[in-house]
């Protein structure tokens, strides 16, 4: 779906799909003399605020970079804390999401997580599958380069089986082999805590996304910040490579 405008019908100033790189939990905790786990817990609360804000404002897709493929390189204790928080939210917050009309989807390599988390994640997807107010996509053990590579492998296998001719592979066909198949590309990508890079997040899908970088650490992100990034987006002119008229 690259190269097309997916803004919400009837409101061209509102992005249909917002994606967020949630950065700054550790720095937030350090500045307050708190353990790292306190920062991650506060970040979880920011997730809940952001989901509510997105649903309230009519955003249809919200993708959160919750755990990158590179996060497995962190200290074992921090990885255990992150997976423990993920387990808690999958077990105890999915019913609340469902009551709010939120559908949950997972992208990434779930096989690297403990079996119980894999099962909880798939159960959460099934329980919320019929909801349509907002689609919340959690990127877990996700990497943009790995996503592109696995899509290329799938295309190569399809060609070798005679299911498709190599000459028939275009951007649309290739996008259908990505983990985000069927999703609109993000209109707006936000990163918190002052870093100005994508860090291997939705590399193919972000080709025409508007980028906003905030100094605010993720645990402090709230509805006011969400409104700020929406206002910034509303002032951008999206031309998708065309010259201004």
> Per residue in 148-179, pLDDT tens?
999 999 999 999 999 999 999 999 999 999 99
The answer to whether residue 214 is domain-embedded is yes
- 55 assigned to some structural domain: yes
Question: Which phi and psi (to 5°) does residue 103 adopt?
Answer: -100, 135
Under the banding of pLDDT at 50, 70 and 90, the label for residue 241 is low
Assigned domain for 127 exists = yes
Domain assignment present for residue 160? The answer is no
Q: What is the pLDDT of residue 66?
A: 94
Domain of 114, in residue numbers? 17-143+185-234
Within a domain: 194: yes
Total domains, the chain: 1
What would the pLDDT profile of 1-13 be if each residue is shown by its tens digit? 443 344 444 466 8
Binding residues for substrate: 24-28, 40, 68-70, 72, 74, 191, 197-199
Is residue 45 assigned to a domain? yes
Furthest C-alpha separation in the chain: 60
Question: Within a domain: residue 104?
Answer: yes
What CATH number corresponds to the domain at position 24?
3.40.1180.10
| Residue carrying the six token digits 């988390």 | 117
What positions carry a catalytic annotation?
Answer: 23, 71
Between CA 105 and CA 124 the distance in angstroms is: 8
Which one is predicted more confidently, 240 or 96?
A: 96
Share of the chain above pLDDT 90, in %: 91
Return binding residues for Mg(2+).
23, 210
- Taking the model in full, what pTM does it have? 0.92
Please indicate, yes or no, if residue 82 is contained in any of the structural domains: yes
């Amino acid at each position: 779906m690259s190269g097309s405008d997916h803004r919400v019908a009837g409101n061209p100033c509102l992005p249909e799909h917002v994606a967020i790189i949630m950065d700054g939990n550790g720095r937030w905790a350090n500045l307050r003399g708190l353990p790292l786990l306190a920062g991650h817990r506060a970040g979880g609360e920011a997730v809940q605020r952001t989901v509510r804000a997105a649903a309230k404002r009519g955003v249809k897709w919200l993708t959160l970079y919750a755990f990158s493929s590179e996060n497995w390189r962190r200290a074992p204790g921090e990885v255990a804390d992150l997976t423990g928080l993920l387990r808690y939210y999958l077990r105890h917050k999915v019913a609340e999401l469902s009551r709010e009309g939120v559908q949950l989807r997972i992208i990434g390599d779930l096989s690297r997580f403990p079996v119980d988390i894999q099962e909880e994640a798939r159960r959460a997807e099934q329980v919320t599958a019929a909801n349509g107010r907002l689609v919340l996509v959690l990127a877990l053990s996700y990497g943009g380069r790995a996503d592109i590579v696995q899509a290329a492998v799938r295309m190569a296998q399809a060609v070798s089986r005679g299911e498709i001719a190599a000459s028939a592979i275009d951007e649309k066909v290739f996008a259908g082999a990505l983990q985000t198949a069927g999703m609109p590309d993000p209109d707006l990508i936000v990163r918190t805590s002052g870093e100005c890079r994508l860090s291997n997040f939705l590399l193919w899908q972000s080709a025409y996304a508007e980028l906003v970088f905030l100094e605010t650490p993720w645990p402090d992100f709230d509805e006011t910040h969400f409104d700020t990034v929406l206002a910034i987006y509303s002032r951008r002119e999206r031309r998708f490579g065309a010259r201004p008229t």
